[in-house]
């Protein structure tokens, strides 16, 4: 998939366009079989290549930077990693905490039946599940919450 980017005084501006869209804009000219940076420049565009986004770490975000011109005459998409703001960090942490609370609640729900009178469990099993459920309720108090949680082992 060939892409183009508009050039203004030799500098990229705006968003990249698919070849078919640029061909539509310049349907009145003859296009070469092999597209070259020189041809693209002659119509006020540059050839453009997408790149894979880098992997982000916790509390980072990705921003698209200004494209860079390669030695081959093609403009390349550039990414940069930037730290999140304090507000963004708080939002991400709050979302993670909510996800972990939902996981905890699911684990509690899956063991609700163990605390019903007349279940087929022994008194020891009921107590084991009660202890397990108590540990689940305390996961939000762990020092690593919400990012590093040591989930208790479910009783046999």
Q: Are 108 and 71 in contact (CB under 8 A)?
A: no
Q: Rounded to whole angstroms, how far apart are CA atoms 119 and 99?
A: 30
For 37-72, write each residue's pLDDT tens digit: 999 999 999 999 999 999 999 899 999 999 999 999
What pLDDT score was predicted for residue 119?
84
What pLDDT score was predicted for residue 102?
98
84 token code pair = 């999140």
Share of the chain above pLDDT 70, in %: 100
Residue 1 has pLDDT above 90, yes or no: no
Residue 118 has pLDDT above 90, yes or no: no
For 100-113, write each residue's pLDDT tens digit: 999 999 999 999 99
Alpha helices (runs of H) in the chain, residue ranges in sequence order: 19-25, 37-42, 86-110, 123-137
The model carries a pTM of 0.68
Residue 90 Cα distances to 37, 72, 85, 143, 148, angstroms: 45, 43, 9, 16, 16
What pLDDT score was predicted for residue 156?
84
């Amino acid at each position: 998939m060939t892409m183009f980017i508009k050039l203004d005084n030799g500098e990229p501006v705006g968003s990249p366009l698919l070849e078919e869209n640029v061909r539509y804009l310049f349907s009145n000219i003859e296009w070469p079989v092999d597209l070259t940076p020189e041809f693209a420049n002659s119509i006020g565009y540059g050839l453009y290549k997408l790149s894979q986004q880098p992997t982000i770490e916790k509390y980072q975000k990705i921003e698209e930077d200004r494209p860079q011109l390669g030695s081959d005459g093609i403009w390349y998409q550039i990414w940069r990693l930037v730290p999140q703001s304090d507000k963004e960090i708080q939002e991400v942490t709050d979302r993670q905490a909510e996800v972990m609370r939902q996981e905890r609640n699911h684990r509690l729900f899956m063991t609700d039946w163990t605390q019903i009178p007349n279940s087929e469990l022994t008194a020891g099993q009921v107590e084991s599940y009660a202890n397990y459920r108590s540990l689940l309720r305390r996961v939000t108090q762990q020092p690593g919450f919400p990012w590093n949680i040591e989930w208790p082992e479910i009783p046999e």
